[in-house]
Chains A and B, each alone.
With several copies, the nearest count.
Chain A
Amino acid sequence: MNAFSLGREATPAELQAWNIDVRPDFKGLPPGSGTVERGNTIWDSTCASCHGTFGESNEVFTPIVGGTTDEDIKTGHVASLLSPAQPVRTTFMKVDTISTMWDFIYRAMPWNKPKSLKPDDVYAVLAYLLNLAEIVPEDYTLSDKNIAEVQARMPNRNGMVFWKGMWDVNGKPDTHNTACMKDCMPDVKVASSLPAYARNSNGDLATQMRIVGPVRGADTLKPAPT
């Protein structure tokens, strides 16, 4: 320890300033509280411009709330994740731990002024989002005391698996191709081709390739030659 005499001990104030991470077991969660109502005020003034008034939708960002049901709150597994009809995957459809949201909003939101919220603001705005997601009632006050209750109602709390196969460098893969060299497939089927409209969807490809070499960029302002 301290083999190099480089660096120095962190002070308590420094630790307090930077040690902001909150874990699923709520280690790191600062005390405090906030009501849905106050959260609504913060949301409308500070978040809605990007995320929409009800956090459900707007033209720009993937919604935070939506796609979960009372049934999900019981099972802890969001059923709409199975449905190709579900248009988007909202935050509440996926996130399994409420700590994640507290931690993230505190460190990163509002996006254009991160780290400007006080802990009480985070409790409030999170209470508001939880109410929108129908996880807590309208008159709820979220706090460090009752957050574990909320956790027990997170719609996708049972929807995650820690996948060791791709966590460990020596983990077990789930696909099993072989290095076949000859006559490997009876016949080759093209399952999907670039749609014609997508040929020029990323701009004129002639201007995205080198002007010398083995190839040129296709002039995608014109239809493909035949």
Chain B
Amino acid sequence: AATPAAGAAAQAAQGDPMILQPRPWSTMLGHPVAFHPYGVPSKYEANLQRRQSPGLTQTAQASVAFAPLQGFFGIITPNGLHFERHHQGWVDIDPDQHRFMINGMVKEPKVYTMDDLMRMPSVSRIHFIECGANTGMEWGNAAVPTVQYTHGMLSCCEYTGVPLKVLLDDCGADLKNGKYVLAEGNDGSSTTRTISMEAALDDVMVAWAMNGEMLRPENGYPLRLVVPGVQGVSWVKWLRRIKVGDQPWNAMNETSAYVDLMPDGMLRQYTSIQECKSVITSPSGGQMLMGKGYYNVSGLAWSGRGKIKQVDVSFDGGRNWRTARLETPILDKCLTRFNIDWVWDGSPAILQSRAMDSTGFVQPRYGQLHAVRGTRSTYHNNAIQSWQVADTGEVFNVHVE
């Protein structure tokens, strides 16, 4: 008889034990339905988690948990992995006790319960949300290892709620003199942000649902503002109040934070729109390619000003570009997934993606961004991201001007 080693070799020649030896799951009776009345991911997916970036913030309540973009597919963010950004921690509000007020320049200041709001004519739309500070650690130079930390303050959900316009009409808002609205939260921070009346009358929603279910507590349950195309801080969570006014409020998060420091020492305020941006998520920083050959290079593109029109990808650090395939649907102020073929020959390469939106605007290179805004800014970094593939297959975060 053959030795065990020889037996294993013979078997290897015959084929893969994963096929030749029946697996437990194909020879057993599985788990019943509703074993998990509310389901969870496979235990083999545990590596994909929201994570803090060590040293970024001084507390875990005024902080960020980054979404693991390196493991995402398509454009929808699973609610359990939506990025988190709180100013004073997240709270779990009893929706029956929640109230929503509209006041200021309105004929009749009003109070609504969740029951009232959820009876109103609702809309459902898919939009991205990006924190204004996303990619902030990268303003000056390459600082963090993976796309989770460089770009992970980004998510995309189908929101359902009542258009803010419907509510403003319901209260008789003064649309002639009221040029701004203030949104205020009901958490400890009661965060406020000024929203333009133009947006308020266009596509802003007072939303209670994300991806088919109610908002998650971390994302504002039971009510948040959805301000498509605008940085996340304006999407006020645990929303309790909208006030109509004729001047911006200059709130703390409009003066001390979310202002863009320019090379001349001036601070740009109310820089709200998230301009056109993209990033390759696979392969990306901190990953190892599994050998030479074909890869489907995949990433995300978005614009706060409209739809994505085109995404180009470079494999030589920006010298030459090829146009990627865009997955459908391609929606307004929404993530668009792109894919492009690549055959890796095993030599070093620098991968970049460059998005163009429906206004014709093209995502800038770092050099172009630095030339205008310097290197000491924090917010609204939409520069082209570079991933350097070493001949070992390891992918590194680098900046190309």
Contacts and interface: CB of A to CB of B under 8 A. Distances in A.
A–B in direct contact per CB < 8 Å: yes
Interface of A: 1-11, 13-15, 17-21, 23-25, 60-62, 77-79, 81-82, 84, 89, 91, 94-97, 99-101, 103-104, 107-108, 111-116, 156, 159-163, 165-171, 173-185, 188-195, 198-203, 205, 207-218, 220, 224-226
Given A6-B294, A162-B270, A163-B269, A202 B119 contact: no
B360 to A, nearest CB: 9
Contacts of B392: 224-226
A198 B275 CA distance: 28
A69 B146 CA distance: 40
Contacts of B245: 23
Contacts of B266: 159-161
Contact of A161 (B267, B285, B356): B267
Contact of A194 (B115, B184, B397): B397
B340 interface: no
B141 A191 contact: yes
- Residue picked from A190, A212, A225, most chain B C-beta under 10 Å: A212
A185 B320 CA distance: 8
A170 B229 CA distance: 11
Given A177-B365, A185-B319, A112 B20 contact: no
Contacts of A114: 26-29, 88, 188-190
B296 interface: yes
Interface in B348-401: 350, 354, 356, 361-369, 372-373, 376, 380, 386, 388, 390, 392, 394-401
Shortest beta-carbon contacts, A-B, top 8: A188-B317, A192-B141, A175-B364, A215-B287, A166-B271, A205-B286, A163-B268, A11-B15
**A18, A181, A199, A226 pick with most chain B CB within 10 angstroms:** A18
B312 interface: yes
Given A1-B108, A192-B141, A100 B287 contact: no
Given A163-B270, A202-B53, A169 B305 contact: yes
Contact of B267 (A159, A174, A176): A159
Contact of A208 (B116, B148, B251, B260): B148
Contacts of A203: 51, 54
B57 to A, nearest CB: 10
A201 B356 contact: no
B352 to A, nearest CB: 10
A6 B293 CA distance: 8
Contacts of A220: 145, 286
Interface in B100-141: 101, 103, 107-120, 140-141
Given A2-B108, A169-B229, A189-B401, A182 B320 contact: yes
A212 B399 contact: no
B7 interface: no
B65 to A, nearest CB: 13
Interface in B53-71: 53-55, 58-59, 61-62, 68, 70-71
Contact of A211 (B22, B44, B112, B304): B44
Given A14-B111, A115-B27, A163-B271, 13 more contacts: A4-B120, A21-B182, A21-B249, A24-B250, A84-B376, A97-B255, A111-B188, A188-B316, A192-B399, A205-B286, A208-B48, A218-B287, A218-B395
Contacts of B232: none
Given A7-B170, A201-B144, A214-B282, A167 B272 contact: yes
Contacts of B249: 21, 23-24, 103
Given A81-B261, A208-B286, A177 B320 contact: no
A38 B270 CA distance: 35
Contacts of A159: 265-267
Contacts of B320: 181-184
A104 B103 CA distance: 19
A184 B313 CA distance: 13
A20 B184 CA distance: 10
Q: Which of A115, A176, A185 has the most CB of B within 10 A?
A: A185
Contact of B198 (A6, A77, A168, A174): A168
B143 interface: yes
A166 B270 CA distance: 7
B196 interface: yes
B196 A168 contact: yes
B146 A205 contact: yes
Interface string B186-203: 001111100010110010
Contacts of B366: 191
A150 to B, nearest CB: 15
Given A212-B118, A215-B289, A216-B287, A14 B20 contact: yes
B400 A189 contact: yes
B144 A166 contact: no
12 contacts: A4-B120, A6-B116, A9-B109, A94-B256, A100-B252, A166-B268, A174-B372, A190-B317, A215-B282, A217-B286, A218-B288, A220-B286
Given A14-B20, A115-B26, A180-B321, A212 B394 contact: no
Contact of A18 (B88, B240, B282, B304): B240
